[in-house]
Chain A
Amino acid sequence: MMLNFGAAVSSLNTSHLTDEVIRRSKRMILDTLGVGLLGTSTPVFNTVLQCSQRQQALEDSKVWGRPGLSLPPQYAAFVNGVAVHSMDFDDTWHPATHPSGAVLPAVLALAETLPVKPSGLELLLAFNVGIEVQGRLLRFSKEAHNIPKRFHPPAVVGVMGSVAATAKLLGLSAAQSIAALAIACSSAGAPMANAATQTKPLHMGNAARGGLEATQLALLSLEGNTQILDLESGFGAFYPDYVPHPLAEVTPTSHYRWVLEDQNIAQKRFPAHLGMHWVADAAIEARAKFLDKCPNADLSQIKKITLRVPTSRYVDCPLPVSEHQARHSFQFNCCTALLDGEVTVESFSKSQMNRSALKEMLLKVQLENPQDNHSSFEKMYCEIAVETTQGEMFTARCNTFYGHWRKPLSHEDLVRKFRANASTVLRAEVVEGIIYTVDHLDTNQDCSMLWSYMHFNNTFE
């Protein structure tokens, strides 16, 4: 298995990238950069940055949104990875993980330090190898198909994605790639309990960092267990049902079937756990029906709200106190959508969270967990029933929210999201520069302006 993974990682080349894979991965890269830039304004980003600043190196990589600040590449990957996941705004895949945030910061940080910069296509290849390895590993366990209970997936597969991507970028041999994968495995795994806390983004940052570090150690000839992906006591330690299988053989001219081709990705419209998006869309529809019937209605006329959602303890939070809890609360996102007709970045600010109308409405929400509503991002739905004091009932159901892989964001809406995020930190010209660079990533020989653009901040000028 390991020989096979190592061989695949080192044999995949740019000719194996199909048009669809290139198109989808460019969308992921753009979305991730925007989300990362927005994330540089969060307290958690500042905390990890302060802690990381005690490290410097001869070859440093740029910290996003902090002009003049550089860190050793693994620490740049760390803080930038934290930024990407800081608001739970980054992409989500099936089986569930947030793949891009573990890979992109590491790839960019590493690329910056290379004496000969990779071309855009080489960057795309490394990125896709990182995504691919994550997708393959997630398919080794049935448990991985459901909303996780024990280990936070980015901390498990994310670090393996990061190591695969960075190994690819550095052109490690198959044997070195195997060693790198094994070393990375010893940095995998963080418990779910820290999700919905301020520490969650560090899972992403550490995945990016750990993968890059593993590649560097493998280059120094450190060895791990060459059977790491085969053994229950290896990568299998993270799953109760672990059934690994080899990757398809890769020859220089063969066609390669990427997981991303068969399984598209979800990109969020607002910064909250993916499950919240079903709730928001259903609530928005119910609200529209309500206001349609009673145009000048006062929403305080709502007597009771029933949400039919999958069982998931960690996003069942009736009275969230912190911003993180709010992003992981069916109830909160439902009420925000009912009140405002949308959920946005601003919805999680202190002032919005403290609205009395919102707090009153939260008390009216009741959750039901129908048996047919599975805790899986592939199968779940949300049904809402709003009962008014007048005795009227408005219901709505969302099977597939806009942004889900079955109903992806249009190109315009994806770019709009990027602009809104990036503009909080960058001037318009720089924002457009990134859009242009990512759009032309596969034809560009020199993409070093990408990390230069990420290094600006209009509030510092």
Chain B
Amino acid sequence: INVCTQRSTRYVSAISAARGLHKSALDAAERPTPEETVTSSFGRFIQSVQPRHLSPTVLQRSKRMVLDSIGVGLLGSTTDVFELALQHCQHMYAPDDVSFVYGRQGMKLSPTLAAFVNGVAAHSMDFDDTWHPATHPSGAVLPALLAISDMLHNNSKPSGLDFLTAFNVGIEIQGRLMRFSNEAQNIPKRFHPPSVVGTLGSAAACACLLSLDRSQCSNALAIAASLAGAPMANAATQSKPLHIGNASRLGLEAALLASRGLEASPLVLDAVPGVAGFSAFYEDYAPHPISSLEEDEHSFLIEMQDIAFKRFPAHLGMHWIADAAAVVHKTLIGLKGGSISPNLVQDILLRVPLSKYINRPFPETEHQARHSFQFNACTALLDGEVTVQSFQPEALLRPELHALLSRVRLEHPHDNPANFNIMYGEVEVTLVSGDVLRGRCDTFYGHWRNPLSQESLQKKFCSNAGAVLSNERVERLIEAVEGLDHLDDCKPVLAQLQ
């Protein structure tokens, strides 16, 4: 029997292997060296990735994500839930309350709490980016990285490229983890994905920016696993944004704990029968190591799978039905002219995927409205589009809207699965006159198959950021993020957010 480690050689000589009495002890000695585990391959990746590994496409796409995420966060700082989370954190101050808070000029919190509130802001209106398999990757990562950047001394702020590298590590890790489960391909049922992969993504990104060594990087991921996982039932409630806020905060905490030497399971990402690690969050879990950067085998997932940016603040599924309804609206205007009267409409049929949590016939709160096929379809039918303002209390209570809502029914065709890569939205409006108007959307504008143009993305940013920042700052931010990969340090971005 070959025994690899030095420690066990002494024992083997003292016993007879043939008796097989000590098989379990020998098995332990022959356990694979760390380099072979999935967990350690992730630790290695995080530690060894360099700016030069970022291709132009990756750079371009991730800068777009950074810009969108900041804008969405700034707008989100005007929400009630943000104010609530902020009040909660303000009961705590710190000797190093150094990190900025979105939309609160001059206010500082400690880095982890800043990551928390800014993460809440990013997801507060469900306006942030969505990827495939489904999660909202940027909101979990960016706030923590910005908070760390504020924390670092003025003379040692990360360069723009270092920042982008860490950001991409955070995104990449999330993408890799989601590919360990087929279950992750569909609209989730048990755990809210940002709370599962987002926490580890944040930990990875922070570990990278803090230049932790490879074993610390692995430990950061493992510690983060113990902080991951929030049930879906709290999505479409006011608590949902806290899932992203906590993912960002707790990922940062995990990295900080790892930097101080805390250790956790070295097999957390591996599939160990009888003892669940990260696999605890999935029914079907099949992990594989991340390929080596040295042999040029690795390419970032964002390169192969682009991201969706939302045009209005609601669940991604709403975008298909809104675009389909907008087609019908246009036709109706063409037919009847002027504005749409509900009296013209006899019946509204929506053909959408089956998903309990976005099927809400009569939403009562803003959060519910953002997760209602019916609401978004009727809003788009009435107004021709869905916007930030569509979810204001006054808009929610419109009698014309209610009239339309009561005429909606849903169908769930077999060819329309709850999957952001495959689904479609169809709207069929039967008028009182007997005419039937149809609209269909296979790929909404903003989906990864039909990405927002740079102009559209910047327009969204201006509208969002402009809610709380001066035009000058808005312009400077666009410029700074656009040139992020050329900045010697990221102060130009941070300065506009302080």
| A50 engages B280 (CB within 8 Å) | no
How distant is B273 from chain A, measured CB to nearest CB, in Å? 7
How many B residues, CB 8 Å from partner? 70
Which listed segment binds B: A129-137, A232-240, A432-440?
A232-240
| B14 engages A363 (CB within 8 Å) | yes
Q: Is B11 on the interface with A (CB-CB < 8 A)?
A: yes
B residues 81-104 with Cβ under 8 Å of A?
81, 84-85, 87-88, 91-96
Residues from chain B with Cβ under 8 Å of A167 in the complex: none
Which listed segment binds A: B177-185, B252-260, B429-437?
B252-260
How distant is B252 from chain A, measured CB to nearest CB, in Å? 10
Complex: chain B residue closest to A322, CB-CB: B263
How distant is A154 from chain B, measured CB to nearest CB, in Å? 11
Q: Is A199 on the interface with B (CB-CB < 8 A)?
A: yes
Of the candidates A193, A221, A363, the one having the most CB atoms from chain B within 10 angstroms of its own CB is A193
Known A-B contacts A56-B94, A194-B222; the reply to A217 vs B84 at CB < 8 A is yes
| B25 engages A192 (CB within 8 Å) | no
Residues from chain A with Cβ under 8 Å of B307 in the complex: none
Residues from chain A with Cβ under 8 Å of B487 in the complex: none
How distant is B204 from chain A, measured CB to nearest CB, in Å? 17
How far, in angstroms, from A435 to B480 measured CA to CA in the complex? 62
Known A-B contacts A193-B265, A304-B21; the reply to A51 vs B256 at CB < 8 A is yes
| B238 engages A366 (CB within 8 Å) | no
Of the candidates A151, A224, A312, A365, the one having the most CB atoms from chain B within 10 angstroms of its own CB is A224
Q: Is A220 on the interface with B (CB-CB < 8 A)?
A: yes
Residues from chain B with Cβ under 8 Å of A222 in the complex: 81, 84, 238-239, 242
Candidates A182, A188, A191, A319; contact of B277 at CB < 8 Å: A191
Of the candidates B110, B229, B272, B357, the one having the most CB atoms from chain A within 10 angstroms of its own CB is B229
How distant is B221 from chain A, measured CB to nearest CB, in Å? 11
A residues 54-71 with Cβ under 8 Å of B?
54-59
How far, in angstroms, from A318 to B189 measured CA to CA in the complex? 39
Candidates A72, A194, A319; contact of B28 at CB < 8 Å: A319
| A193 engages B268 (CB within 8 Å) | yes
Task: Mark interface residues in B235-249 (1 if CB within 8 Å of A CB, else 0).
Answer: 001110011001000
How distant is A387 from chain B, measured CB to nearest CB, in Å? 10
B residues 13-44 with Cβ under 8 Å of A?
14-15, 21-22, 24-25, 27-29
Q: Is A198 on the interface with B (CB-CB < 8 A)?
A: yes
Residues from chain B with Cβ under 8 Å of A378 in the complex: none
How far, in angstroms, from A311 to B274 measured CA to CA in the complex? 10
Residues from chain B with Cβ under 8 Å of A75 in the complex: 92
How far, in angstroms, from A221 to B243 measured CA to CA in the complex? 17
Residues from chain B with Cβ under 8 Å of A366 in the complex: 21-22, 24
Q: Is B452 on the interface with A (CB-CB < 8 A)?
A: no
Binding site for B on A (CB under 8 A): 43-44, 47-48, 50-51, 54-59, 72, 75, 149-152, 155, 182-183, 185-194, 197-199, 202-203, 206, 213, 216-217, 220-225, 227-228, 231-238, 304, 311-314, 316-319, 359-360, 362-367
Ordered nearest first, which 10 A-B pairs have the shortest CB separation? A193-B277, A234-B233, A313-B274, A199-B264, A190-B226, A186-B230, A191-B280, A237-B231, A150-B276, A193-B265
